[in-house]
Amino acid sequence: MEYSEKVMDHFANPRNVGEIENADGVGEVGNPKCGDIMKMYLKIDKGVITDVKFKTFGCGAAIATSSMATELVKGKTIEDALKITNKAVMEALDGLPPVKVHCSVLAEQAVKAALSDYYTKRGIDPTPIVGKLEDDCHGECAHNLH
Ligand code: FES
């Protein structure tokens, strides 16, 4: 399996690893098939993501995509962060092997789960803003893992 240099770099030196105490939003997502888990912490000030950290117990691609996702959302408004899809994460990493596409979905969902938590904590229904979180992976898992 061929990984891009960027994937290898983010796997070997993941950015923003750790936790944020008193985070404004925390999201945890898991891939039920491979058992990998990703946890994302966000600090949000006036609608801007000022800090982000993550912990991923998963494959190399899951670590690389969560690292890249944190880099992409850092400093962004919530609105802009919500536009970051797993495809954007993959493009920023110069691509992923097809069997690893679902790992990037986990990264997208982790950001969304953390933002949902942020709204829920404020008594706001996150669904109209963040959308429905997927338990599954855009059907990718359907042929890869099921
Ligand atoms: Fe489970 Fe990559 S996230 S194999």
In a domain, 109, yes or no: yes
Q: Residue 100 CA: which ligand 1 atom is closest?
A: 2
In a domain, 42, yes or no: yes
> Does 62 contact ligand 1 (Cβ within 6 A)?
yes
> Does 61 contact ligand 1 (Cβ within 6 A)?
yes
Alpha-carbon dihedral angle through residues 92, 58, 114, 95, given to the nearest 10 degrees: 10
In a domain, 133, yes or no: no
| Cα dihedral 31, 97, 86, 42 sign | positive
Q: Residue 106 CA: which ligand 1 atom is closest?
A: 3
What parts of the chain have a pLDDT lower than 70? 135-146
Q: Is the pTM of this model over 0.75?
A: yes
| pLDDT the model gives residue 52 | 98
| pLDDT the model gives residue 135 | 58
Q: What is the mean pLDDT of the chain?
A: 91
| pLDDT the model gives residue 115 | 98
In a domain, 34, yes or no: yes
| pLDDT the model gives residue 132 | 84
